[in-house]
Chain A
């Protein structure tokens, strides 16, 4: 059974205008997105800036208001059941992009990591301290650091404090919004390895939002590609990287710089070809508003947004 199911999710933001500040139009940040995540998997959500990937993640956890559509967590519809939400907030946690702005600089690590515990569990001071120390040990920080402040840590360490906070309540699903884009490559490796370790240990499911296709390829089992608030392609990592069908996906994959300088010329030529194809066949893949069509399945695992035949 899938742990999270998103059905035709729409998030529209009103544009206010005129002297009375009436709503004149909507920005369709997310416009009809459906996908589901299996338990224990890592699902990658990819797209360029403005594609709506972050909005999707934030809408799922409840940080953005859902305009229409459903989010089902373990079969329960959390968009309509208010009462189901208390548990939901416990089971779903988020790791934010920037470890410099997502930790309150005036709070000690103890207070930062214990905040979710204080909200949901009634623990005595001693118990709380013990739990926080365990969590810090789990993320590879020394238990003595509970009395330090965020500025005393490096970027990678801070991101791990963010992770400690996210796993404090033993969640089932973690939404990671660009968890490593603010970090250096060596620190990035550390955080990614660590995320894989705790996934096994705590049986976690990830929704991994990123624009970095290298990281996505390394981490994810299944990938969804977004463009202007809509899905253009969805499939396994194999499908997306070895057999991309939509021209937008092809272009995105071709744009990843090759780490082998010997293939530079070859790669540049390939990229130009894809770019030409993209310009020529743009109208075949997108409708008159420049948006993607609905998804059609082309194999058991692979869905592509193509126009309906006939």
Chain B
């Protein structure tokens, strides 16, 4: 087996609320290999962005425990100087909203050029410009010479996101983290951006962590999928298994609540209750149990662990064995 590009072991990211620390990411372990897309799916507040920010070292007040092994080196408590060498060079990040991710007062060429300059100060200005134009061309921007001198507001949303991607891949990173890269975009633009990311993954042999709440995007892009709920991974499997044979109650509920090809009059599945807030999260027991109250309490584990039910397919808590939707007959 090839060596994993990124290996996260028991990562716990906690934020301080009043005098206590509360874990937004709780005991997450996962690996990302080269040339692989790992999708992290979950609703807002499940900790998926907190996880991405931890991997990139972008939290400045959080308490981070556990290990983040990037190419064998532990980054969990790396110093800011160490981080600035890695960030933008070996790891790139694509943000959700291209308008806020770009500086409105800087021309496109300088923004991408800055990313190159920070990690390679010997490169001449002329060379840098050539490289930026090359990058713009690579992400499919027409007339890169003209766009080089333009400001972000002069570009459309799709073009801006391409610029953000160009900045992220400026130094040929080995790991790309994309936080909802297409949420702010129209469907036709979304499909273009996804195709572009697939292409870049192949070209650079990079690993991608894709954070999204859109299951269509997951089905389209991912090789493996991790489903997060309330700070924990509840299920992890390759994409085909996850869509064909989902096990965890949360994954099954989520897949059932997407409107898709069903009759217009049919009801969508609704997950009862709400995502518990960080402070009032039950730290013991199955965190999803409150939202499936029709399942007997004895079906849940005291301290739910991830079980490998088939090679590469992990499910947390044993309640999946007894789970059924309320409208289904109990066997």
Contact = CB atoms under 8 A, between A and B. Distances in A.
Interface in A153-170: 154-157
A contact face: mostly helix, strand, loop, or mixed: helix
A184 B191 CA distance: 20
Interface stretch (A1-9, A62-70, A81-89, A255-263): A255-263
Nearest to B187: A255
Contact of B258 (A155, A214, A220): A214
B217 interface: yes
Contacts of B275: 154
Nearest to B43: A184
B235 to A, nearest CB: 15
B220 interface: yes
Contacts of B258: 185, 189, 214, 259
Contacts of A256: 187, 216
A189 B187 contact: no
Nearest to A258: B219
Contact of B264 (A157, A186, A237, A267): A237
Contacts of A221: 264
A36 interface: no
Contacts of A154: 274-275
B214 interface: yes
B284 interface: no
B269 interface: yes
A196 B268 CA distance: 11
Contacts of A193: 267-268, 270
Tier of interface size on chain B:
35 or more
Contacts of A264: 219-220
Contacts of A190: 270
A190 B194 CA distance: 29
Nearest to A155: B44
Interface in A187-235: 187-190, 192-193, 196, 211-215, 217-221
Interface in B59-74: none
B188 A259 contact: no
B43 A186 contact: yes
Nearest to A51: B186
Given A211-B186, A214-B258, A259-B260, A186 B220 contact: no
Contact of A189 (B215, B220, B239, B257): B257
A240 interface: no
Given A185-B258, A186-B257, A255-B190, A268 B195 contact: yes
A262 B187 contact: no
B191 A271 contact: yes
Contacts of A80: none
B259 interface: yes
Contacts of A255: 187-188, 190-191
A252 interface: yes
B218 to A, nearest CB: 8
B58 interface: no
A252 B187 contact: yes
Interface residues of A, number: 42
A48 interface: yes
A104 interface: no
Contact of A261 (B219, B259, B270): B219
A66 B83 CA distance: 55
B216 A257 contact: yes
Contacts of B186: 48-49, 211
B215 A185 contact: yes
A218 B268 contact: yes
A288 to B, nearest CB: 21
A205 B262 CA distance: 21
A211 B243 contact: no
A251 interface: yes
Contacts of A189: 257-259, 268-271
A211 B182 CA distance: 13
Contacts of A261: 219-220, 222, 239-240, 243
Nearest to A264: B220
A264 B269 CA distance: 25
B88 to A, nearest CB: 29
A271 B188 CA distance: 10
Nearest to A217: B259
Interface in B183-207: 186-191, 194-195
Contacts of A185: 43, 213, 215, 254, 257-258
Contacts of B44: 155, 184
Nearest to A183: B44
B188 to A, nearest CB: 4
Interface string B275-287: 1000000000000
Given A156-B274, A257-B214, 13 more contacts: A48-B187, A48-B188, A155-B44, A214-B216, A252-B187, A252-B188, A254-B191, A257-B190, A258-B216, A258-B219, A259-B215, A261-B222, A267-B220
- Nearest first, the 4 closest Cβ-Cβ pairs linking A and B are A257-B216, A218-B259, A189-B268, A189-B257
Interface of A: 48-49, 154-157, 184-190, 192-193, 196, 211-215, 217-221, 237, 251-252, 254-262, 264, 267-268, 271
24 contacts: A48-B188, A184-B213, A185-B258, A189-B258, A189-B268, A192-B268, A193-B267, A193-B268, A218-B260, A218-B264, A219-B264, A220-B264, A255-B190, A256-B216, A257-B194, A258-B220, A259-B216, A259-B243, A259-B260, A260-B219, A260-B243, A261-B240, A261-B243, A267-B220
